[in-house]
Structure 1
């Protein structure tokens, strides 16, 4: 295939990569990092930058409590333990998600019962109800690619069936539904801060409404000094303060300093990212080949992680993969079909029930040779067969990127339209 696919002239978009970097490493961020290296490289309690980050993040998402972790995955692992789930229990989880939404539950021997997706890639109260079974004790939802789930309906479903409500808000730092920030209806909610709209570089944070859950989160990842200082000696779990639950998952103070720096700029980040998202929604209006995957305003506010696009193969003369290749040839190299976020329900990790069993793949009743993108869930299949994403830029001065990608997407769509 020739490099010039759409036309014989210069590329529509010809800015050297990388086309997306986050966070922006400016002088103020460098100063915050250097200042923290001089202040402390190891916070053992919440009197320093780690505690400051937790308090500011809790305020940002309207949560009573927040405890930081070394990653979103470790925060979800803490969530699984705090929820009291173990072998014999089951959790309802999205089939279409990033693996860490469900993998910590499987690590603990909890059965993960997977659930179908709607047009935004999200679970609904109806898809959850389709998979309900007696040993299910909790639900975890993910707000995929920034689009908020219908949390009022899901919360009502959980209340009706006596289930804990857990949220993976990793894609949805700025999302809301029914004027409530995502995570606000959950018993426990996790936000990854690894290259997300609010980032610490690496990290995660667990929010909760109950003091008991906060203390158990400390026991999971912040043993010794912090637990001994912050947990009420009268609590039934207080004797474990010295050892915790046996693990340590503390966020690094330099990461916390990056997070505090980003939270101070949250309003500007949201303003710019929301403006860029609106630019793509407006600019692609009427495009028959691709359309933005964004919940309408009456359903909620987008979480501002990426710009999701739906490909309409019936209106195109090429496949989705060819469309992406054409965009790359036009210079828009960040147009992407997700690989890590996909149907995870057939991964061998989720067939395990004994957390101490050897890691060997056992024969599966699933047909052999199943293509990697073929799902047993119709909604998941429809979504992942047509979804592509591009970055959602969030800083002043990125107009050439926004306009260049919009021009490239429009040019390729025009060239391939049926």
Structure 2
């Protein structure tokens, strides 16, 4: 007989002390990397030190040539750079996912670019070539996709759509460091790609990375985040962009040396991080097979590979006697404290920021015209996330969370 739920007076399934998830693993080797860098340099003005070493390591991680990535202060800064690199201006529009973290689209709105929000596949949360086509309009100049929660978009179809309409293709890979589609890493399909490296599977504490394989776009990326010494060293004197090398574009969005040192440390362990997180993903997939209430979101191996940011689950409301949010509360009561229905990543299409068409306009909220997005609504109402963990000693938490999910599911299944 199944014990009563903890929320109803039964015993808790898991009684592990907080925190249940911390990233990265703060061990002696990471502490040494940070301390060594503090003595080496706290600020680099070019890429001859740790900044360049980190960029080379990240390029190798993606299978790219050295020099095809440029580090940034954040993933948001990298996405803002994409807007400026492409030369988008008020009057232009970009197709973007409505279900995403706000930074996928907010830098474009900051610049007065129209963001045209698109529906999602209700099983993955991702835009599709069809959902992009459904929202196409004459002033659209680019597409940005997000590989939501580590699930890669169908990039072959999306790339074909962009090519057919002569649109720049941008990728937000913030959730998807280890993801692949058709055996090709995400971030290498588009004209430009952005990675966030804050508390992601590969972390620098705070930071971002811009992928720019085209030399001309790469020069503009350097000018967005850097200036003077680095720009003058890396941009050919004969380039059309060299006159701006001293000033850059007028901003400074470079990352810190301590963040780069953390990134180098983490990338050296990327294979282990991926292996451990894939093991956990496989364990959840097998354990939840046949569970009528929740199912893991998986990537068929013949299509690609999961990005391993979090483990995503879909809640099947028609098979349960409680709502998704009540299911989450019951799991938390069992001691599975990181079972979560996210609120920050959601449908952002109604935010007043996206009504702006003038970068210099006063900051007054204007109503945004509602868009019918049934796929977004279905996914948002069904999605649950849990950590992917990925460090020694996480077996107790892995087993405890699986037990809590199984117990609650058994109690609420119709």
Q: Do the aligned partners of 2:352 and 2:367 also contact (CA within 8 Å) in 1? A: no
In the alignment, structure 1 residue 22 sits paired with structure 2 residue 23: yes
Q: TM-score, normalised by structure 2?
A: 0.97
Q: 1:153 to 1:4 in 2, by over 3 A?
A: closer
Aligned to 1:70: 73
Name the residue aligned to 1:378. 374
The match for 2:386 is 390
How far, CA to CA, are the matches of 1:365 and 1:175 in structure 2? Answer: 34
- Which 4+ stretches in 1 moved above 2 angstroms? 3-10, 362-366
The whole-number CA distance in structure 1 between the counterparts of 2:365 and 2:188 is: 39
1:120 to 100, 108, 124: 124
How far apart, CA to CA, are the structure 1 residues paired with 2:392 and 2:294? Answer: 26
- State the alpha-carbon separation in 1 of the partners of residues 215 and 356 from structure 2: 33
What SS is found at the alignment partner of 1:42? coil
User: Which of 396, 402, 405 lines up with 2:401 in the alignment?
Assistant: 405
2:169 to 141, 165, 178: 165
State the match for 1:135 in structure 2.
139
Contact 1:63 1:207 in 2 (8 A): no
| Residue 200 of structure 1, aligned match among 198, 201, 204 | 204
Measure the CA separation in 2 of the matches of 1:404 and 1:6: 16
**Residue 9 of structure 1: CA displacement?**
4.2
Q: Residue 90 of structure 1 corresponds to which residue in structure 2?
A: 93
Matches within 5 A, 1:255-404: 255-366=259-370, 376-404=372-400
Retained in 2: the 8 A contact 1:61–1:181?
yes
Distance, in Å, in 1 between the alignment partners of 2:369 and 2:56 is 48
**1:41 maps to 2:37:** no
Q: Is the 8 A contact 1:6 1:415 kept in 2?
A: no
- Aligned equivalents of 1:57, 1:8: Cα separation in 2: 50
Counterparts in 2 of 1:273 and 1:364: CA distance versus 1, 3 Å: closer
The answer to whether the Cα contact below 8 Å between 1:63 and 1:208 also exists between their aligned partners in 2 is no
- For structure 1, the 5+ residue unaligned runs are 367-374
Length-normalised TM-score, structure 1: 0.96
Could you say if the C-alpha distance between residues 237 and 362 of structure 1 is closer, same or farther in structure 2, counting changes exceeding 3 Å? same
- Tell me the secondary structure at the aligned position of residue 298 of structure 1: coil
CA contact 2:162–2:168 (8 Å) conserved in 1: yes
8 A contact 2:6–2:12 mirrored in 1: no
RMSD: 1.2
